[in-house]
Amino acid sequence: MGTPRTRTILGLLLVVGLGFGTAACGSGADDTEEGGRVTLVINGLPPATEAANHQRFLDNVAEFEKLNPDIDLEPREGKMDPQTFAAKLAGGQLEDVFYVYFTDPANLIAKRQVADVSEYLADFPVTQQIKPEVLRVFQDDKGGVYGLPYKNYSMGLLYNRELFTKAGLDPANPPRTWAEVREAAKKITALGDGHVGYGEYSKSNTGGWHFTAEIYSLGGEVAVNDGGTWKAAFNSAQGKQVLQQLKDMRWTDNSMGERQLLEWSDLLQLMGSGKLGMYVATADNIPTIVNQYQGKYETYGLGPIPGGAGTLGGGEGYMFNAKASPAKIKAGLKWLTFWFTSAERFEAENKWSADNKIPIGLPEPAIFTGDAAQLQAAADAKYANVPQENYAPFKAAMPSIPVKLEPPNAQQIYAVLDVAMQKVLTERDANVDQLLADAEKQVNQILASVR
C-alpha cells in the first residue's frame, strides 16, 4: 500500500554499509581488473534532512569499506519509483543493486529486467536461512533467485488497552473473530464522551487496502489468476461479509462514529486522542501515533487480524540490475549479507536506535530461520524499549496466519473498492450485492491488462 510508512530505520539496517565511489549508475561490463576494485551503485541513501539516519549511514560507509578494501559502494537517494524505473533502465541510470517492495519482483523478473544471482548464493550460506516463503517473492517459477528480502510486515488489530480495561474487556486477549470485534466495539462506544469502538478507512485508496486485508482474514481473495488470466474474486461470501459487517456496525450498532471518509492519518490521530478503540494496522503505526499524535507506547496493544485465515502483508528487499557484472553481483551479495550475518551488526544497530530513542521490539514477521533468526531475536530482546507484553497476542499468532501480498495493479483496484467502502459507511440503504457487482466489473477491466 502506498501510504506513509515509518520504515526508514529498519530499511537503513540493510543499506548502512554502502560506500561512496565515483562510478555512474549501473554498468553492464565487468569493470574490475585483476587485483582491481569493484564500484557498485545502490539506492536507499537517507536524505540529508534526516540528519541522524544520514550520519549513521556515513559512519557505516567507512566501516564497511575498511572491511572490504576492494569494494567501493556508491549510494544514491531514493527507493523504487515505478514512475521513473523504465526511464532509468532505458537510460542506463538504474542502480546496480536497487530497493524494491514485495509487489515489484514478479513483474521485473517476467520482463527480464533483473539479474539471476542463484549461482552465487552458495558463497553466502546465510541466504539458506531465509524462510522459503519469503525468498519465493524473489524467485521465478523455476526457483531462480533475483534478489534478497530484508524486512516484511503484516497487518493485525491495533487497540487501546486502556479503553479495553474501562469497557470491561481483557487487554491481554483482543478479539480473535469479527463477531468479537463487533461486540467489543459496542462496549467501547458505550463509554460515551465521543468514544468510537472501531475505525475504518474509505478514502485515497485506503478503503480498498483495508478491504483487502479483511477479506484475506476470512479466507477470501481480491483477485485470482485463472489459467494465466487475472480475474476479480471479491464478489464472494467473504466480500459480502466484510461490507455487511461494516454496514451493521455503522448503522445498527452506531459503533464507528459519525465521521467517515477517513484516510491514513485520520485513524492514527483518533487513536492518539484516546477516543478510538480499535482498527486494522501494522505495528509501525504505533511510533507514529506516539511521535505525532501524543500517544504513549504503554497504551497500545497489537493482536492478530480477526478471522486469522490470512492477512495482508508486504515487505522490502533488494534486486540486481540485469546488466550487473558477476563482480558487481558478488559485491552486492557481500554487502547484503554483511548485515544479515553479523550478530555484532544487529546489536550495534539496535544500540544506536535505542540511544536515539527509536523503538526496538515492535512485532514484525521474521524473514529468517535458524541461527540468523536467533541472533536477531536476541539483539532485539536485549535492546527492546517498547512494552513487549502488549504485542504478545500478535506474536503468538504470527506463525499460524498466512501472509498474502497485494493484488496486481493494487492501487487502481483499491480506488475502485474505496467506493464500496464509502457507500456502506455513509449510506444507510447501501446495497452490498450491487456494490460488489459494480466493483467487480471495473476491476476486471483493470486486470485485463495484467499478464
The pLDDT tens digits for 265-284 are 999 999 999 999 999 999 99
What is the C-alpha to C-alpha distance for residues 221 and 172, in angstroms, rounded to an integer?
30
Q: Please, what's the b/e burial string for 345-357 (b: 16 or more CB within 10 A of its CB; e: otherwise)?
A: bbbbbbebbbeee
Tell me the one-letter amino acid at 194. Answer: G
Residue 12, pLDDT > 80, answer: no
Query: Considering only CA atoms, which of 281, 282, 244 is closest in space to residue 435?
Result: 244
Burial class (CB in 10 A: 0-12, 13-18, 19+), 438: middle
The answer on pLDDT for 114 being more than 60 is yes
Specify burial of residue 385 (Cβ count, 10 A radius: 0-12, 13-18, 19+): middle
Task: Supply the pLDDT for residue 9.
Answer: 37
Encode pLDDT of 331-363 as tens digits: 999 988 876 656 567 888 899 999 998 999 999
Cβ–Cβ < 8 Å for 311, 217 = yes
- DSSP letter (8 states) at residue 145: B
Closest CA to 339 of 37, 142, 44: 44
DSSP structure class, residue 104: S
pLDDT of the residue at 63: 82
Res. 107: pLDDT tops 60: yes
Nearest to 406 by CA among 174, 123, 102, 201: 102
C-alpha 257/C-alpha 445 separation (Å) is: 34
Residue 246 · residue 200 · CB < 8 Å:
yes
The whole-angstrom separation of Cα 142 and Cα 176 is 38
CA angle 184, 190, 195 (to 5 degrees): 90
Count of C-beta atoms within a 10 Å radius of residue 29: 9
pLDDT for the residue numbered 343: 58
DSSP state at residue 24: P
pLDDT of 392 reads 97
117, 122, 126, 132: CA torsion to nearest 10: 60
Question: What gap in Å lies between CA 230 and CA 222, rounded to an integer?
Answer: 10
Query: What cell numbers appear for 4 in the block?
Result: 506513509
3-state secondary structure of 36: coil
Listed residue (298, 253, 346) closest to 16, CA to CA: 346
Q: How does pLDDT run across 186-222, given as a tens digit for each residue?
A: 999 999 999 999 999 999 999 999 999 999 999 999 9
Residue 91 has pLDDT above 70, yes or no: yes
| Residue whose entry in the numeric block shows the C-alpha cell 514484525 | 364
DSSP class of residue 305 equals P
Strands 311-320 and 97-101, bridge-based pairing? antiparallel
The strand order across the sheet containing 156-160 reads 196-198, 276-281, 156-160, 300-304
> Whole-prediction pTM value?
0.85
pLDDT at 245 over 80: yes
Whether pLDDT at 413 is above 70: yes
Alpha carbons 294 and 312: distance in angstroms, whole number: 28
pLDDT band at 34 (very low <50, low <70, confident <90, very high): very low
**Percentage with pLDDT > 70 across the chain:** 91
What residue ranges in 96-253 does DSSP mark as E strands?
Answer: 97-101, 147-154, 156-160, 196-198, 223-226, 229-232
The predicted pLDDT at position 449 comes to: 85
Report strand pairing: 276-281 vs 196-198: parallel
